[in-house]
Chains A and B, each alone.
Chain A
């Protein structure tokens, strides 16, 4: 089985849908398994994702060619290190336009890099349409949706809304009680370290709630990773 280097684009064309949270969770999932990750924060004005992982991320401005070189040339390195791009909603259009213009997806596959879009859902029709445009433009592009029930609840029509997205899979990030969610904002809180050894001074209630929240999310990521490995296994074809 040829190893594949995964390049995740966590994205949404809209703000406040939970893109950075998803990118952070995915990064911490890998780190919790002692897998090195390279992150890219495309919000050069307020790079919150990079603040959580200062050692593992770089800030790129994709509106500039130099930023595009920092991002895409690095994403094309097939070194088996998962790459995670937190796509700022203001960078969304430019990022995918550049991907189209330079032929990034075709080159990535040629080099053994698997681009995966993790599309953050929201209630608007335009978000689902944007996902459709990506899938229409690149029919072979692997796309999963992320439904963040806290940041971007879909309400009673969630099934109908999710059905609009042309995704092959779905991740669900459960909502959190406000006091627990506040604990997440602590930039010194590493979720990967927390899973291995919760901070001694942390409230027992917060600790239990966070663990109950994180475990199913990490399990979904693990299932996804296993599915990818099974799909690429030559013995199962």
Chain B
């Protein structure tokens, strides 16, 4: 059977209700003034090589395609992989340095960008959340001053489940999503239900996001081009000049990005960080 063609010319996405989030119901201050409050999306994992920056890049493309003004912070100092792909909106920071914490948190209300994406370097998620806790960020979230979304990119190993226990204290008032990243063909085994339950007894997630596989060659070509996914699809180079990327590879990337966007929409990411009047 021939596959149905994938919708590639995307219209403005229909608004959907986010999946049921038990913890959201316990945060009454959150709903009232959501549209005006700045949002922080943290993308991280304590394990390396699970594709955090790929997810952060996909989010930046997704929000940009939905006309949501976004800025990004790359904590991979000094190299800054996210910065390489999105140099205009990304600042490289060290989350453990007070001066850099001020650049992020103290400007949340004054920045024109109402969404800030923080790409946390490998192994830095727990320390980053600890640092945010120390400066009172989570109290501000609880108080309804900011919105907070955590995308926890997990690997297929049991070590990823152990990470969940470590970050549990920080996610009580967050929209906490587990992200299974298949972009590099990672296969996830089904965890034993008892083992799974043991790790989730102290944390409630808002849902699970699955990032589909992208052909290695297509992924590699985007890496080489050093551009956002959407720029590669538009056949432009990093300077905005016409490029000569293969249509086949652009087609694969376009379809992949559309599927990723479907996942973000499914879990209601736009409603969580965007202007609800949109």
Interface residues of B in 161-216 (CB under 8 A from A): 215
1/0 per residue, CB under 8 A from B, across A65-100: the answer is 110110011001000000000000000010011101
Are the CB atoms of A101 and B249 closer together than 8 Å?
no
Are the CB atoms of A65 and B4 closer together than 8 Å?
no
For B6, the chain A residues whose CB sits under 8 A away are 100-101, 103
For B250, the chain A residues whose CB sits under 8 A away are 102
Say how far B246's CB is from chain A's closest CB, in angstroms: 5
Does B248 interact with chain A (Cβ within 8 Å)? Answer: yes
Does B5 interact with chain A (Cβ within 8 Å)? Answer: yes
Say how far B1's CB is from chain A's closest CB, in angstroms: 7
Instruction: Tell me the count of chain B residues lying within 8 A, CB to CB, of chain A.
Output: 20
Does A168 interact with chain B (Cβ within 8 Å)? Answer: no
* Partner among B2, B218, B247 whose Cβ is within 8 Å of the Cβ of A72: B247
Q: Roughly how many angstroms separate A138 CA and B247 CA in the complex, as a whole number? A: 19
Q: Roughly how many angstroms separate A102 CA and B251 CA in the complex, as a whole number? A: 4
Among A73, A76, A103, chain B packs the most CB atoms within 10 A around the CB of A103
For A73, the chain B residues whose CB sits under 8 A away are 246-248
Does A137 interact with chain B (Cβ within 8 Å)? Answer: yes
Are the CB atoms of A133 and B1 closer together than 8 Å?
yes
Say how far A101's CB is from chain B's closest CB, in angstroms: 5
Chain A residues touching B, majority SS: helix
Chain A, interface size category, equals 20 to 34
Are the CB atoms of B2 and A102 closer together than 8 Å?
no
For A98, the chain B residues whose CB sits under 8 A away are 248
For A137, the chain B residues whose CB sits under 8 A away are 2, 4-5
Contact A68 B248, CB 8 Å, known A102-B255, A103-B255:
yes
Say how far A170's CB is from chain B's closest CB, in angstroms: 22
For A72, the chain B residues whose CB sits under 8 A away are 247-248, 251
Residues of A in contact with B (beta carbons under 8 Å apart): 65-66, 68-69, 72-73, 76, 93, 96-98, 100-107, 130, 133-134, 137-138
25 pairs, A vs B, C-beta closer than 8 Å: A65-B248, A65-B252, A66-B217, A72-B248, A73-B246, A73-B248, A93-B1, A93-B2, A96-B3, A97-B2, A98-B248, A100-B2, A100-B3, A101-B5, A101-B251, A101-B255, A102-B250, A102-B251, A102-B252, A103-B6, A103-B251, A103-B254, A104-B247, A105-B5, A130-B2
